[in-house]
Amino acid sequence: MVDITLVIPIAGAVGLAFAGYLTWYVFRKDLGTPEMQEIGDAIRQGAMAYMKRQYTTIIVISILLGVLIAALIDPKPWVGLSFLVGALASALSGYIGMYVSVRSNIRTAAAARRTLNEALVTSFRGGAVSGMGVVSLSLIGVAGVFFAFRNGMGFDPGMSLDAAIGFAFGASFAALFAQLGGGIYTKAADVGADLVGKVEAGIPEDDPRNPAVIADLVGDNVGDCAGRGADLFESTAAENIGAMVLGLSLFKFWTSLVPASLQWSESEALVWIFFPLVARSFGIFASLAGVLAVRLRREDKDPMSGINMGYYVTCILAAIFFFIATKYMMGDKYLYFFGAGLIGIALSIVIVYITQYYTSGSWRPVREIAQASTTGPATNIITGLSIAMETTAMPVIAIIIALLGAFGLGQMAAPTDPAIVNATNFNYATYKLIYGFYGTAVATMGMLATCAFILATDTFGPITDNAGGIIEMSNQPEEIRRRTDRLDACGNTTKALTKGYAMASAALAAFLLFGAYFERVATKKYGGDLSMAFHVDLAQPDVFVGGLLGAMLVFLFASLAIRAVGKAAYAMINEVRRQFKADPGIMERTSKPDYAKCVDIATKGALKAMVLPALLPVLVPVTFGIIMNMAGYNAPQAVGALLMIGTITGIMVANMFNNGGGAWDNGKKYIEAGNLGGKKSPAHAAAVVGDTVGDPLKDTAGPSIHVLVKLLATVTLVFVGLFV
Amino acid sequence: MVDITLVIPIAGAVGLAFAGYLTWYVFRKDLGTPEMQEIGDAIRQGAMAYMKRQYTTIIVISILLGVLIAALIDPKPWVGLSFLVGALASALSGYIGMYVSVRSNIRTAAAARRTLNEALVTSFRGGAVSGMGVVSLSLIGVAGVFFAFRNGMGFDPGMSLDAAIGFAFGASFAALFAQLGGGIYTKAADVGADLVGKVEAGIPEDDPRNPAVIADLVGDNVGDCAGRGADLFESTAAENIGAMVLGLSLFKFWTSLVPASLQWSESEALVWIFFPLVARSFGIFASLAGVLAVRLRREDKDPMSGINMGYYVTCILAAIFFFIATKYMMGDKYLYFFGAGLIGIALSIVIVYITQYYTSGSWRPVREIAQASTTGPATNIITGLSIAMETTAMPVIAIIIALLGAFGLGQMAAPTDPAIVNATNFNYATYKLIYGFYGTAVATMGMLATCAFILATDTFGPITDNAGGIIEMSNQPEEIRRRTDRLDACGNTTKALTKGYAMASAALAAFLLFGAYFERVATKKYGGDLSMAFHVDLAQPDVFVGGLLGAMLVFLFASLAIRAVGKAAYAMINEVRRQFKADPGIMERTSKPDYAKCVDIATKGALKAMVLPALLPVLVPVTFGIIMNMAGYNAPQAVGALLMIGTITGIMVANMFNNGGGAWDNGKKYIEAGNLGGKKSPAHAAAVVGDTVGDPLKDTAGPSIHVLVKLLATVTLVFVGLFV
């Protein structure tokens, strides 16, 4: 049994080594012309300066919260310590991704002067550094913290998981800041640059005369690279630890509850706790092969086909590895768990197709928005909102089928030995339920197996976007610009797909995180009796109001995130207008705009605005739990309802925002491609308004809500002791 | 005991007689100049033609569904029959409201030529016809159906309620069509008229050169009068019957379950079933006095102060009447129920203040939107969306406090006699729970006591709006226009308040409707054992997916409603553009536009688009319940989760839409009042876009979601037998 867990450190080491190799591969590429380097330097400096200030803020707040946790939460200092380690590891992941991406952009631009394939491979491998680095660090972190507490401190598995939960919370907490801060930064800069540059001054995107253009290019990095990196770091960490907590229930079940003759040895039963880590380890190998498979056969092919090839390689390998892992670890009923894993992989593919349907210009939704633009911005927005809300339907149906399927398969894997079914010292129905929950955990692991690859495709987006900006600003020939444009269009698609993936994995993971929460409630309140804890009865009004509060929390959070962008963009617009007015030489290209001032405005706006919304999902559930507990209500269930209905609402709103924003974006692109009047037509002006409205929804609020949903789960896991 | 129930027919008769008096009062007013009459006639004809076609569609669909229900649902033909009666009564309510309002507008316009007070009183009393008529009809309908089945058919109370549930469902069903159809009509016309008239052609609102202007004025009537009338008709019907079903549990408890020595006689115990009707009857008297109290002391006073005076009179009388009703009916613990009623009245006042804060130009939210308009339509929309989502926070907190308060008071009223507490033939905790649910029902009755008055203030809105339009189109002096403008501004506020009220009452009523649903589940599935039925355990995945589906249903419904407006508005815009282009004489006032063509486009668009979204909330829960039942899942709880989380999501989205739309509207008005550049400034153009986007949200989707939430409750009540 022990041997297969060896794959965990191996995969972690291989993943990091591969990230190192990719870095070497990208860094030895040439840097292009001095003009290009000058722009690249400006982006790099702006991004690194922002990251430094952002992470300083995050680390200060994390240390304060870490000390509080260390003082309050059992096992005493250790949860606080692992919280800090989680926050730092999340920060490190974001930093690595940024470090490489702001150096890959210029090299991609240089490579685009030669062939499309070279540019694709350079940018994709630059993105994959982030993908592999983040996933490997998360694996090493989770496993490391668990093993350190288990073997180093001599804790039993339950206590070491208790301590490790802090790690997941730290990761989510830092990630919410990173995603929010980065998201506000990028969209304030983007909206500011677009509204004055494109709409008022009528200059093209990425034009060097636009004072906000460098801030915009910096924003792509800090929002998409660092933000999404932190998002997926915490997703994998939180979902891994959640699955391990669920595994703990089965561990206890097989080592102490079942009749003595059927009991497993401790090392045998640890399989339930280790499986999530092993599955993830295999996922790193599958993604590694997928990354290497990304290339373009011919110059005239769509770059998306090269990426799709890599994705299919990753999915197929992930399925094969999953078969091996379940067969080796899950005993004679392994096929059920293998099936659950396949459901996870299948769901990720289905979501990719649904997202494409809603956000690509080839189908009804985007075309409807484009059509509505011909009657002005108001009808564009109305139609876009309608499409955005419609996009919740198909993913929800897919998620319902996947959840019920994975749950059912998990239940089928439950033991049927009459000695267990009829045992009187535990509630068999509850354990069957936990098998079902574990089935959804396995499906989540299946979905996350491709995580490193998906993250690579996401980070690829801003790298190509930046490369295009560098080409444009350094006045390279039209032919090269066309190459980077093709890569950039492909990057827009992959960014939308990643968000769909992140949202669906959050939904699939919901049950395993709820299960982990109930397990904690059972341990802290009911002396380990799970059958008492696995309930959230909405028919009780105290529980129902928790649900109301959870739904409201998502709306309020979204409101704060959107408003932050609005405010920062407002300052940016006024600054750009001021520069154009103060120095007419800018438009005539005789003098240079003050890029640094715009970078500074975005930085300050983002840092100031990220704190309140990021603290909200920590303070509200804990305060609510404590108040409900003091008032004599059923606090664990009320908080459970907050968590569950917050998750459901989060899924809806994030879906609406991500897909709606993508559809608005591509509605504009559809018109720009020459339809309905093309560029400079009134329809195009209306579509630009829609695109701008969609920006903060799809790049700030939507992705932040993914993190919010996970943070709600980890914060309740950590603080559950305070309100039971 | 029997005597106090006599108030029910008396109140119904007095209410109808008072509506008759108000009609006489309004109709004897003069009709103004022939020009004014010509416009008034056009509005009346357009509105009546639309109503005829809309109700023909509704009645045909209702008859089909009624036959289906009569064949499927026990007690067999009766539920179908009362469904039809409910649908017809709802249609009749809408018709009466419309009939009077399209005749009051011209009389209000004529009165405005004399004094503001006369115009206010005329328009308000015209609106009150609808308010009194709707509420009285609903009372007579509910009580009539119940008594007909109970005394005429000799049913026991349970069976007559079973049959009467059909009435509530019929009312909700017809109301959803009316609200959706009217809402689509009004906003398609409004958006079309505004976008081409105000934005493109630059002519003022209600300018007779605009071909869509008559359709716009018609829309105010069919959307706000008929739609909201049907909405509140079904609210009062559904919530009354829901409360009576809950009362049935307590009736059975006291007549058969408690130890024989403590049992009540049947006529004594009927108090639990009759109380909601009695409370409503007293509400009619309170509202009657309030309506008569509306007047303006001096010409220079804000008309809102006159309406507020009437509202306070209504609230104070309602509280006094509530004290009498509870003292007379509720036994020695009546003070708890009186307290619950006060909570309902207080909640309605609190919601009014919160709504004013978010939608009036005097506070931060609207000013922020206006400020954001200075940087263009995109920032206006972004800020507006942020404010819209923020507006969910305070109402939710108020609702949480009200729900827990009313529930707690209800529980305190539960019997504490040891013979009851320790009885073994029923679950005392469950009955304590039902007392709590009944507390929320009493609070809802408290809130609904002012319903007739609130509905009067709502219908007052379109009457004044129309009066202003008639004055503008018939070129009356500026001074008169200023009077109707003041009334119109006041009408905008009251419309926003009514929507806040309708939403909050839906939230407060949620528990009584859930309780009624559980009672039905207990009766149909658990042989009346309530302790088995009062559960919706979200920790079960089959229940959780019901919740996911419920949330999704609200989003999908909103999407369809918004899209319908977008589509119909698109057709309208193109028609208006076509007329301006085809006949340049229109702009030069040498020829008249073709108003009828625009009326026709709005009519067809509304009728075509209302069917699918209106059928969705009927088909989805029933189909889902049947599938889940056949698949062996816990269908009653899964459908319960759909109902509950659909309600929570509905509260959020309706709140967001209603308040956000109101804030956008008044953001525009704030600029029009001369701030930030005033009319014709770029900020104003941006604010017009925001106002237009808000229109379908606040006047189509938002109010329809109120009805949707109630329809989900009544549809599950009627069809529960199919999936248990």
B410 close to B508: Cβ distance less than 8 angstroms: no
Mark yes or no for CB contact A566/B645 under 8 Å.
no
Mark yes or no for CB contact A648/B693 under 8 Å.
no
Torsion, Cα of B630, B631, B634, B640 (10° steps):
-70
**pLDDT computed for residue A494 by the predictor:** 87
**pLDDT computed for residue B94 by the predictor:** 87
The torsion region of residue A427 among left (phi > 0), alpha (psi -120 to 50) and beta comes to beta
Closest residue on chain A to B651 (Cα): A548
Considering only residues 529 to 588 of chain A, which have any Cβ-Cβ distance to chain B shorter than 8 Å? 534-542, 544-545, 547-549, 551-552, 555-556, 558-560, 562-563, 565-566, 569-570, 573-574
B462 close to B129: Cβ distance less than 8 angstroms: no
Collect all residues with Cβ–Cβ distance below 8 Å to A721 and sequence separation of at least 6: A73, A74, A524
Nearest to A645 among B377, B393, B648 (CB): B648
| pLDDT one-digit tens code per residue, A395-415 | 999 999 999 999 999 999 999
Q: Residue A178 has which token pair?
A: 């990173």
The ipTM is: 0.95
Closest residue on chain B to A644 (Cα): B538
Mark yes or no for CB contact B548/A400 under 8 Å.
yes
B15 close to B135: Cβ distance less than 8 angstroms: yes
| pLDDT one-digit tens code per residue, A470-522 | 998 888 898 898 899 889 888 888 888 888 898 898 888 888 889 999 999 99
Mark yes or no for CB contact A381/B693 under 8 Å.
yes
Output the average pLDDT for chain B.
92
Mean pLDDT of A452-469: 92
- What φ, ψ does residue A474 adopt, rounded to 5°? -95, 15
Q: Which of A598-612, B549-563, B609-623, B635-649 has the lowest mean pLDDT?
A: A598-612
Closest residue on chain B to A380 (Cα): B566
- When computed from its CA atoms, the radius of gyration of chain A, rounded to whole angstroms, is 25
CA angle A470, A475, A477 (to 5 degrees): 105
Local structure of A154: helix, strand or coil: coil
Mark yes or no for CB contact A566/B383 under 8 Å.
yes
Local structure of B365: helix, strand or coil: helix
Angle between helices B478-525 and B451-473 (to 10 degrees): 150
Mark yes or no for CB contact A563/B648 under 8 Å.
no
CA distances from B630 to A436, A558, B181, B722, B723 (A): 20, 39, 35, 10, 8
Considering only residues 411 to 440 of chain A, which have any Cβ-Cβ distance to chain B shorter than 8 Å? 433, 436, 440
Mark yes or no for CB contact B541/A407 under 8 Å.
yes
Using an 8 Å CB-CB cutoff, list chain B residues near A555: 389-390, 392-393, 652, 656
Tell me the one-letter amino acid at A487.
L
Nearest to B382 among A385, A511, A566 (CB): A566
A467 close to A119: Cβ distance less than 8 angstroms: yes
Mean pLDDT of A155-183: 91
In angstroms, the CA A523 to CA A720 distance is 10
| pLDDT one-digit tens code per residue, A217-242 | 899 888 888 888 888 888 889 999 99
Angle between helices A635-672 and A541-582 (to 10 degrees): 40
A163 close to A76: Cβ distance less than 8 angstroms: no
Considering only residues 449 to 478 of chain B, which have any Cβ-Cβ distance to chain A shorter than 8 Å? none
Nearest to B436 among A387, A541, A563 (CB): A541
Closest residue on chain B to A696 (Cα): B382
In angstroms, the CA A706 to CA B393 distance is 20
In angstroms, the CA B49 to CA B605 distance is 14
| pLDDT one-digit tens code per residue, A184-219 | 999 999 988 888 887 788 888 888 889 999 999 899
Q: Is pLDDT above 70 for B599? A: yes
Considering only residues 638 to 697 of chain B, which have any Cβ-Cβ distance to chain A shorter than 8 Å? 640-641, 644-645, 648-649, 651-652, 656, 688-689, 692-693, 696-697
Task: Provide the pLDDT confidence category of residue A339 given band limits of 50, 70 and 90.
Answer: very high
| pLDDT one-digit tens code per residue, B226-249 | 888 888 898 889 999 999 999 999
H helices present in B631-681, as ranges: 635-672
| pLDDT one-digit tens code per residue, A625-664 | 999 999 999 999 999 999 999 999 999 999 999 999 999 9
| pLDDT one-digit tens code per residue, B383-395 | 999 999 999 999 9
B199-210 per-residue burial string, b: 16 or more CB within 10 A, e: under 16? bbbebebbbbbb
DSSP single-letter state for residue B301:
S
Mean pLDDT of B291-306: 89
- Smallest Cα distance from A636 to chain B, Å: 12
Local structure of A537: helix, strand or coil: strand
Which of A373, A380, A559, A644 to mutate to probe the B interface, most B CBs <10 Å? A559
Using an 8 Å CB-CB cutoff, list chain B residues near A640: 538-539
Nearest to B548 among A396, A562, A573 (CB): A396
Nearest to B648 among A191, A195, A551 (CB): A551
Q: Which residue has the tokens 């309050």?
A: A72
Considering only residues 312 to 331 of chain B, which have any Cβ-Cβ distance to chain A shorter than 8 Å? none
Using an 8 Å CB-CB cutoff, list chain A residues near B566: 372, 379, 382-383, 386
B468 close to B205: Cβ distance less than 8 angstroms: no
- Smallest Cα distance from A136 to chain B, Å: 32
Closest residue on chain A to B568 (Cα): A379
Closest residue on chain B to A555 (Cα): B389
**pLDDT computed for residue A80 by the predictor:** 95
**pLDDT computed for residue B673 by the predictor:** 86
Which residue in B18, B16, B15, B34 sits closest to B26, CA to CA?
B18
Mark yes or no for CB contact B570/A645 under 8 Å.
no
Asked if B511 is an interface residue toward chain A (Cβ–Cβ < 8 A), one would say yes
Decide: residue A58, CB within 10 A, 0-12 exposed, 13-18 middle, 19+ buried. buried
Output the average pLDDT for chain A.
92
Collect all residues with Cβ–Cβ distance below 8 Å to A648 and sequence separation of at least 6: A551, B547, B548, B551, B645, B649
Using an 8 Å CB-CB cutoff, list chain B residues near A371: 570
Q: Is pLDDT above 90 for B22? A: yes
Considering only residues 392 to 411 of chain A, which have any Cβ-Cβ distance to chain B shorter than 8 Å? 392-393, 396-397, 399-400, 403-404, 407
State pTM to two decimals.
Answer: 0.95
Mark yes or no for CB contact A648/B548 under 8 Å.
yes
- Smallest Cα distance from B124 to chain A, Å: 33
Under 8 Å CB pairs connecting chains A and B tally to 248
Instruction: Determine what percent of chain B is predicted with pLDDT higher than 90.
Output: 69
Task: Provide the pLDDT confidence category of residue B706 given band limits of 50, 70 and 90.
Answer: confident
Closest residue on chain A to B515 (Cα): A539
| pLDDT one-digit tens code per residue, B149-183 | 998 888 888 899 988 999 999 999 999 999 999 99
**pLDDT computed for residue B1 by the predictor:** 45
Q: Is pLDDT above 80 for B506? A: yes
Closest residue on chain B to A656 (Cα): B555
Nearest to B518 among A539, A544, A644 (CB): A539
Nearest to A537 among B397, B535, B544 (CB): B535
| pLDDT one-digit tens code per residue, B62-87 | 999 999 999 999 888 999 999 999 99
In angstroms, the CA B51 to CA B94 distance is 9
CA B560 to chain centre: 19
Mark yes or no for CB contact B382/A565 under 8 Å.
yes
Collect all residues with Cβ–Cβ distance below 8 Å to B681 and sequence separation of at least 6: B671
| pLDDT one-digit tens code per residue, A100-134 | 999 999 999 999 999 999 999 999 999 999 999 99
Closest residue on chain B to A653 (Cα): B555
**pLDDT computed for residue A546 by the predictor:** 97
Task: Provide the pLDDT confidence category of residue B285 given band limits of 50, 70 and 90.
Answer: very high
Task: Provide the pLDDT confidence category of residue A1 given band limits of 50, 70 and 90.
Answer: very low
Nearest to B378 among A195, A558, A648 (CB): A195
Tell me the one-letter amino acid at A212.
A
**pLDDT computed for residue A506 by the predictor:** 87
Mark yes or no for CB contact B382/A535 under 8 Å.
no
Angle between helices A364-373 and A635-672 (to 10 degrees): 70
B230 close to B250: Cβ distance less than 8 angstroms: no
| pLDDT one-digit tens code per residue, A658-693 | 999 999 998 998 998 899 999 889 999 999 999 999
- Smallest Cα distance from A540 to chain B, Å: 8
